Amino acid sequence: MERMFEIRWHGRGGQGAVTAARLLAEAAVTKGHYAQAFPEFGPERRGAPVQAFTRLSASVIRAYYGVANPDAVIMLDSTLLDSVDVTGGLVSGGILLVNTALSPDEIRKKLRLEDAKTCTVNASVIADEEVIVVGLEGLKLHVRRKDGAEVGKGTRQRDA
């Protein structure tokens, strides 16, 4: 990674944008990179639009402010396309990844994008199909809090 790479995540409260931003940063750190992850929200409630940010770098990150010009934007909820300026500040040639059934061309046309590398994946449908195949009982995730205590053993886990 030659320079710092900044990502802005868009989702709705409870969808995991904050958690995804944090997990990506933690994964980068395990590979020897520097990383930051942080949310931006106020008194929002579950289902309200939220943003989260991830910074990745090969060198120490000394930026402690929001991401204004992301290299990539990741949208967990395509319904936000009509209410949030999701591409605002996206660098020229940046990456837009949208969870939607629409094609990249349809997203580019809808948002009037010219030079963004636009990718789409219907992740919600894929997740639903995988849960059906595996079954809810088969999805036993061992989540641990930051202090190492296992969730579900007298502890409660929350997003962020």
- On the CB side of 133, CA atoms within 13 Å amount to 6
Is the pLDDT higher at 125 or at 73?
A: 73
pLDDT of 64: 86
Instruction: Select from 78, 90, 80 the least CA-distant residue to 7.
Output: 90
pLDDT of 40: 86
Counting every residue written for the chain, the total comes to 160
Q: State the greatest distance between any 2 C-alpha atoms of the chain, in Å, as a whole number.
A: 51
pLDDT of 126: 83
pLDDT at 57 over 90: yes
Contacts of 159 (CB under 8 A, 6+ apart): 14, 16, 18, 19
| 17, 51 Cβ separation under 8 angstroms | yes
pLDDT of 22: 95
pLDDT at 85 over 50: yes
Domains recognised in the chain with CATH numbers: 5-123 (3.40.920.10)
pLDDT at 96 over 90: yes
CA-based angle 159:87:33, to the nearest 5? 55
- On the CB side of 122, CA atoms within 13 Å amount to 8
Residue 9 to residue 97: CA distance in whole angstroms? 10
Distance from the first to the final alpha carbon of the chain: 26
Instruction: Indicate the pLDDT class of residue 130, thresholds 50, 70 and 90.
Output: low
pLDDT of 48: 86
| 107, 96 Cβ separation under 8 angstroms | yes
